[in-house]
Amino acid sequence: MSLWEYANPVKFMGLSSRLIPTLSVLTILCLVTGIVWGFFGTPDDYKQGSTVKIIFLHVPSALMAINAWMMMLVASLVWLIRRHHVSALAAKAAAPIGITMTLIALGTGAIWGKPMWGTYWAWDPRLTSFMILFVFYLGYMALWSAIEDSDTAADLTSILCMIGSVFALLSRYAVNFWNQGLHQGASLSLDKEQHVDDTFYYPLLFCIAGFVLLFVLLVLIRTRTEIRLRRAAALAARNV
């Protein structure tokens, strides 16, 4: 059994309909556990006070904003190389989720930045590359809507996705490239000396797992929506 079999829309619909109920339950469990534990069960930070609780939404959303684009890149490459329509539709389906995650990360970051840095916004390398990533998301979605022929739209958005990947990676690693900037290093690291204290780390892991599961769940649902709309358009074209 090959993974490519799921590029067949019928197989994809069958598999995704079986996965969605389980994924929904796991998503709710992880998100509720992580957010309730993080909000109610963690103490204030000695430097940042209660604002540290924003980490449970800011870090997972920022992580997913970048990883959604990377998933779109993989799906776009699959489309360009193997011409599987489901992969192009999955990339299209992921964009609104990615842009929402970017907005949450930018919004919570600005709200957190005001009391900690004294400003809502700074042209910090990570913030700037994140803002550019947001513009790429907008451009990607606009391009899908602007082109009538779906294969041409998939081709052009795939190329845009490859270009935007530079900024997605830059947002992840910007703090390592440039020293000037307000952001600290990685909050999550395999090196225990570097990452946040365990008190915050474990609920944060639940929140990250919840956001990852939410992303997968929504991509599946939205891809199914795109497949249905394409099938409906094909049937409608027969009647013209």
Partner 1 sequence: MPDLGKYADTVILAYIVSFVFLIGLVGLTWLQSRRAKRILATEETRNGK
Residue 92 touches partner 1, criterion: CB under 8 A: no
Q: Does 222 bind partner 1 (CB under 8 A)?
A: yes
Q: In terms of DSSP H, where are the helices of 83-124?
A: 85-117
Q: Is 229 in the site for partner 1 (CB under 8 A)?
A: yes
Q: Which positions from 55 to 74 touch partner 1 by CB under 8 A, shown as an x/- string?
A: --xx--x-------------
Segment interacting with partner 1, rule: CB under 8 A, options 6-14, 109-117, 147-155, 162-170: 109-117
3-state DSSP helix/strand/coil % of the chain, to nearest 5: 80, 0, 20
- For residue 234, count CB atoms less than 10 angstroms from its CB and return exposed for 0-12, middle for 13-18, buried for 19 or more: exposed
Q: Give min distance, CB of 213 to partner 1, in A.
A: 13
Select 111 or 166, whichever has its Cβ closest to partner 1. Answer: 111
Interface residue with partner 1 among 19, 32, 111, 142 (CB under 8 A) is: 111
- Map the footprint of partner 1 across residues 24-53, applying CB under 8 A: 39-40, 44, 49-51, 53
CA atoms of 160 and 140, how far apart (whole Å) = 7
Q: Most distant CA pair in the chain: distance in Å? A: 68
Cβ atoms of residues 215 and 97 within 8 Å? yes
- Candidates 4-12, 140-148, 176-184, 224-232 — which segment interacts with partner 1 by CB under 8 A? 224-232
Long-range contacts of 134-139 (CB under 8 A, 24+ apart): 134/99, 134/102, 134/103, 134/106, 136/69, 136/160, 136/163, 136/164, 136/167, 136/168, 137/69, 137/95, 137/98, 137/99, 137/102, 137/164, 138/99, 139/164
Identify which of residues 12 and 170 has a Cβ nearer to partner 1 in the complex. 12
Window contacting partner 1 (CB under 8 A); options: 69-77, 153-161, 181-189, 214-222: 214-222
Separation between Cα atoms, residue 64 and residue 102, nearest integer Å: 8
User: Which of 53/172 has CB closer to partner 1?
Assistant: 53
Exposed, middle or buried: residue 100 (CB in 10 Å: 0-12, 13-18, 19+)?
Answer: middle
235 binds partner 1, rule: CB under 8 A: yes
Chain contacts with partner 1 (rule: CB under 8 A): 39-40, 44, 49-51, 53-54, 57-58, 61, 96-97, 100, 103-104, 107-108, 111-112, 114-115, 214, 218, 221-222, 224-226, 228-229, 231-232, 235-236, 238-239
